Amino acid sequence: MKGIILHGGAGTRLRPITHTGPKQLIPIGNKPMSQYTLEYLTNSGINEIAIILGDIYPEKVREYYGDGSNFNCSITYINQGKPLGIAHAIYLARDFVGDDKFVVILGDNLIGESIEKFTKKFVDSDYDAYLLFSETSHPWDFGVAKFSNDGRLIGLIEKPKNPPSNYAITGIYYFNKKIFDHIKDLKPSWRGELEITEAIQSLMDSGGRIGYDIIKGWWKDTGTVEDILAANRLVLDSINSSIERINVQGKVILGKNVKISDDSKVRGPAIIGDNVEIIEGAFIGPYTSIGENCKVKKASIENSIIMKNSVIDTENIIIDSIIGEGSQIMNANSIKPKGIRLIIGENSKINI
């Protein structure tokens, strides 16, 4: 059994953060989101993994994961370049897969449970494809399942105006090599992509055996800032560590060499990386992740992700925010003339 992680896509809805790196390296709970998908695979005993690279700083992915030895696996890199669809990315891995069964995971999809039982079920089955669905309140945003009255999977529809069910296809797909024959004859959709739902439908229509299961826990497709913050909350909710002292309360993970002044406070769930300073009356509120080597002075921060090497020195309250690596948010009270000074990236949204 082999694993494939899709690490491409433009991440346009996450600009300007994705101007400087792929969205799958955005940290959630102080860990790149694609590392969670890698761990889903390795924790299921899958140690031969291909990462399909896009054209947004792919060298950063290679630099972080290397040959996989630090993550208990062997990693092969395959370049996709432009985002031409999930099916196109999978087809590029046909030589890597060979005759083995394999699982494909989108590097920006997170779930709240192990895939070990699903992997075992597929390995022990004679399915040609095995899909995982999750119930959603907005199925029109996803590929969704169509079931018969007796519960058989009979179709897949991509982003339907009138969804036949509330069950969305998650970013986890199990296949054998038969899927490649159904990808090679695909034509690009109106989006200019090769759609994996069309390939699966073709496999189904030709008599292929398709199995499915429903994920019972949570599932997040992290395509927007709101989705990423929601995923961060879900991950932080799973923290087991609990600290109770004067300036740290609740479910909190503290890294090495963290300095919290007596007049500052951290209230969990939260995670604080190595070598972080929280000083001069700063308050880190629930559902906040602070990356390594950050300094927070005076500020109050809640429901936010602060990436590593950032400095926040302001008396303002920061909520529902993602602050990119190496950023500085400084106190302007002493600057004349008074006023708001902004450097805003493309497609940014601010509320002041």
Domain boundary assignment for the chain? 2-234, 239-330
Is 341's pLDDT higher than 50? yes
Q: How far apart are CA 248 and CA 91, in angstroms?
A: 50
Give the residue-averaged pLDDT of 79-89: 88
Residue with tokens 């985002």: 83
HSE value, Cβ hemisphere, 13 Å, CA-based, for 169: 32
Whole-number pLDDT of residue 220: 87
Amino acid identity of residue 129, one-letter, is: A
The yes-or-no answer to whether 2-234 and 239-330 have a common fold is no
| pLDDT at position 206 over 90 | yes
| Predicted TM-score of the model (pTM) | 0.87
pLDDT, position 17: 65
> Of 29-33, 52-56, 59-63, 279-283, where does mean pLDDT reach its minimum?
52-56
> Which of 135-144, 249-258, 280-289 shows the lowest mean pLDDT across its residues?
135-144
Q: Residues 79, 82, 87, 92: what is their CA dihedral angle, to the nearest 10 degrees?
A: -20
Q: The tokens 């400095």 sit on which residue?
A: 311
Nearest-angstrom CA–CA distance, 134 and 143: 11
Answer yes or no: is pLDDT of 22 > 60: yes
What's the rounded Cα separation, in Å, for the pair 311 and 302? 16
Give me 176's structure tokens: 């054998």
Q: Is there a contact between 281 and 300 (Cβ–Cβ < 8 Å)? A: no
Give the CATH architecture of domain 2-234. Answer: Alpha-Beta Complex (3.90)
pLDDT for 107:
92
Looking at residue 293, its pLDDT comes to: 96
Please report, rounded to a whole number, the percentage of residues in the chain having pLDDT higher than 90.
57
Q: How far is CA 311 from CA 72, 257, 278, 293, 339, in A?
A: 34, 17, 10, 9, 20
Q: For residue 241, give both structure tokens.
A: 């560590």
Q: What is the pLDDT of residue 336?
A: 58
Measure the CA angle with vertex 244, ends 239 and 245; round to 5°. Answer: 135
- Per-residue pLDDT, averaged over 202-226, amounts to 89
Output b/e per residue, 288-316; b: 16+ Cβ within 10 A.
Answer: bbbbbbbbbbbbbbbbbbbbbbbbbbbee
Bridge partner residues of 131 (DSSP): 173, 212
Q: Give mean pLDDT, residues 145-153.
A: 86
Reduce the DSSP state of residue 176 to 3 states and report it: coil
* pLDDT digits 0-9 by tens, 264-292: 999 999 999 999 999 999 999 999 999 99
CATH topology of domain 239-330: UDP N-Acetylglucosamine Acyltransferase; domain 1 (2.160.10)
DSSP summary character for residue 160:
-
Q: What span, in angstroms and rounded, lies between the C-alpha atoms of 263 and 155?
A: 59
Position 116 scores a pLDDT of: 94
Locate 122 and state its tokens. 């597929």
Of the pLDDT bands very low, low, confident and very high (cuts 50, 70, 90), residue 329 is: confident
Average pLDDT, the chain: 88
Cis bond before residue 16 (omega within 30° of 0) = yes
318 touches 287 (CB < 8 A): no
pLDDT at 346: 47
Give me the pLDDT at residue 334, please. Answer: 62
Largest CA distance in the chain: 73
**Higher pLDDT pick, 300 / 23:** 300
- Separation CA 346–CA 43 (nearest Å): 38
Residue 80 CB partners (closer than 8 Å, separation 6+): 8, 52, 53, 54, 55, 88, 89, 92
pLDDT (average), residues 246-272: 93
